[in-house]
Every structure is written in C-alpha cells, then in structure tokens.
Amino acid sequence: MTRLAYIFLFSFFSTIGIIASDATYYKVAAENGDGVYSILRKYNLVDEYCNIKQFYKLNNLGKDAKLQVGRKYFIPILVYSYNAVNIRTSIGKDDWDLAVGIQKYNEMMHANGLRKSSYKEDKQLWVPFSSLYCGGSTKQNNEHQTLVGVPVANNNINKVTPAKVEAPSSNNSSTKRNFKVEQLFGKAYEQYEEVDQSLKDKVFYIVSGHGGPDPGTMCTTCPQDLCEDEYAYDVALRLARNLKQHGAVVEIIIQDENDGIRDAQYLKCDKDERCNGRKLPLNQRARLEQRVSHINTLYLKYKKKGYKDHTVIALHVDSAGKSARKDVFFYHHKNSPRGKELAHNIHKTFQSKYDKFQKGRGYKGTIRHRGLYMVNNTNPPIVYIELANIQNPLDQKRILLNSNRQALANWIFQGLIK
C-alpha cells in the first residue's frame, strides 16, 4: 500500500468514527414503509446530512437503494458503555456541552419509547454520529426546528434548552458552576444551571391559560384528547426555565405540582392546577380575576423592592376550523407601548426563524390589540400569545412534539431579551 493510500484510509476511517473501538453502531430492523429518511427521522437524525451519508456508508448502500422489511441496518448512533460516573468519561471527551446534549438525546429517546430503559439503568449510552464527527449537532446552536412538525434531536439556543444537567465530578470541575433546583419543572428537569445574571433586574409573570375545571379548547377527535391548558403549561415551564437560567425573577402563576416539563406527545388532561395555592374557580370570570389579582399583587411586591422591569406572558392554544393553519400570533393592550414593543420583538424573532428554516413558506402570524380581560386588567405590560390551532393536524405537531414546544419557548425567550 502506498503512503498516500494509507493516509487516505486513515483519514476516511477517522471521519466515520471507526476508530472508536469501545463503541459499536446501533442496529434496527426496517419496518413496512421504512425508507432511509423515515428511519433516520424516527431517531431524530435526519437533520444532519452527515448522518444520512453515514447510514449509506455503514450499510454499503447505493444512492437509490431501498430498505428491505425485516432486515437490520446500522444507524448512525454509536453505543458506548456507560461507566456510571458521567458521560464525559464514558465517551472519553471532556466537553460539558456535548455531554449535556448527549444526555438530553438519550432521555428523549427513552421518553419517545425508542429506548426500553434509561442509559443509567442498562449502562448503554447512545451517541449520535453527528455529535462527534460533524461539528456537534447535540452541542449548542442547533436551530433546525421548523415548528410545523419536523422532529429534531435538539433545539439548543445558547444554553437555554432544558436538560437534566450532569453534576460535575469532584476531580474534574475547574470552575464553580451555579446549579439550582425548581421542583415545578419535574424530576427530569428540576436541576438547572444559572449561566449568568443578565436578567437579574427583570421580573416575568408566566401564566398559562385555563386549567382546573376548564381544560380550554380541546381536540376530542385526536388519537388521545388534547387539552389546551396542558400544552400551554408545558411551554410556560420551558420558558420559565430559560429565563431562570439567566437570573430572571420568574413567577409561574398557574401551577401543577404533579406535572413538570414533559416530553411525551400526548399530555394527560387533569384538573389539579392551582393559582397561588388555591383551586381554580369553576366560573370563568372568577378564574380570570383570581390570576389577575395574583399578578397585580406580586407586581406591587416587586415594585416596592425596586424592580422596574416587569412583563406578563400569557400562553394559550387557539381553536379554529380543522383546515385553518394558524402561525403563532399575538395580542397586546392598545394603550401599552411596551406591550406592543414586546409583541413585535417576539413576532420578528419568529419571522426570522421561519425565513431561515422555512424558506418560501412565509410566516403569517399577526399582532393586534384586543380587549381581553387579562390584557385589560394586568398592571404590568402583557403579551398574549396563541401558539397554534389545536384542531389543525399540522398545527398540532407544533405542540405535540416536545422539541417543538421547546422551540416555542426558546424563540419567545429570544424575542423577550432582544
């Protein structure tokens, strides 16, 4: 073999990861109707082109090859033995952000039923090929989310994506990291890292619509009932977590102690939400008065403490005809310049994301003032956000997929801090 050929082969095998002698590639059997893209999409691998190329290489397939039902194929997931210490030492890479991304990916695969048990139980750690050999898709700054239902492995935006963060090992942490716990986020996400104090002077009142005896709008013809209040609450928690990671004061107005951030598609409808520790009234007007009163009381408290920057974010899911597509849209008070400004900032963020990831589709979300009770009676500036049309099958994917719910929270967050 010539020296040039040797160098070429070494470079090739290094690129595809064969040098990882302590890891093997995961195999799955093709099911009826499976193609290359559908099988990779199932495992949230299709958004990185290097994963697609690697699939063909691993299975020695031609460009137009069709998958055979029942045959097992390697997919671009490297399986490492988990050493029960931490992810970094298990894969031999001392990269904190990489480890967090890999952990989140494994938790998502477990939540979606593609893993029978967690990596901590079976000691098998799944690592997407792209996270190691394609510039790191499970690291930060992966924004391939489209919000029309295309699932992706991650939607990280500058350290604000929920992840149950690994606690640093005692012999491997050169800098002190500020970890905090919020039990409302649920066991999988209650621990979060406060990465900076950039929002320490700001107070956010996050209120999800409906709850208690009122599930809000519903889809009762879906495979399982969809309740507006459950999906609005999940996005509310994700947004609250993003804000807390940057030192903001966050008041979650509607709370459910049993429901944290959830990654399932179908979120169970229940009636145990509370406001300020109290049951939500059956009467609609009384429910609205209860949450508005709580917000305004908190506003006075923080105002007396010297806080000057206050924002209310109200999250809802709309209901329209089954054929009607509804991009995320916004309401504000007609006499609130700050509320209008915030709505426009978030709207522009969504517009820029659609322009980037949905070229040619166009973003059709609207902004207008509207005399809703919440909008008219909260003292701090308010942005009232409708996330989707719960009746439309395409809009449903915007709230059904946990990666989409996270994208909604991330993009609202980016608009708020503009």
Helices (H), 227-269: 228-244
Report the alpha-carbon distance of residue 275 to residue 256 in Å, rounded. 9
For the domain made up of 194-416, the CATH class stated in words is alpha beta
Residue 411 sits at the vertex; the CA angle it makes with 406 and 414, to the nearest 5 degrees, is: 125
How high is the pLDDT of residue 9?
Answer: 36
Please name every residue paired with 207 in a beta bridge, in sequence order, or none if there are none.
314
How high is the pLDDT of residue 155?
Answer: 37
Report the alpha-carbon distance of residue 273 to residue 254 in Å, rounded. 7
* One pLDDT digit (tens) per residue for the chain, 418 residues: 444 443 333 333 333 333 344 689 999 999 888 888 888 888 988 777 788 889 999 999 987 788 999 999 999 999 999 999 999 999 988 888 888 889 999 998 998 889 999 999 999 999 999 888 875 433 333 343 444 433 233 333 333 344 333 433 434 444 567 889 999 999 989 998 898 899 999 999 999 999 999 999 999 999 999 999 999 999 999 999 999 999 999 999 999 999 999 999 999 999 999 999 999 999 999 999 999 999 999 999 999 999 999 999 999 999 998 889 899 999 999 999 999 999 999 999 999 888 876 666 788 999 999 999 999 999 999 999 999 999 999 999 999 999 899 999 999 999 998 7
Residue range(s) in the chain whose domain bears CATH number 3.40.630.40:
194-416
How high is the pLDDT of residue 361?
Answer: 75
How high is the pLDDT of residue 64?
Answer: 75
* 106-139 burial code (b ≥16 CB/10 A, e <16): bbbbbbbeebeeebeeeebbbbbbbbbbbebbbb
Structure pTM?
0.64
With beta carbons less than 8 A apart as the criterion, state whether 155 and 142 touch.
yes
The one-character DSSP state at 198 is T
* 17-38 burial code (b ≥16 CB/10 A, e <16): beebeebebbebebeeebebee
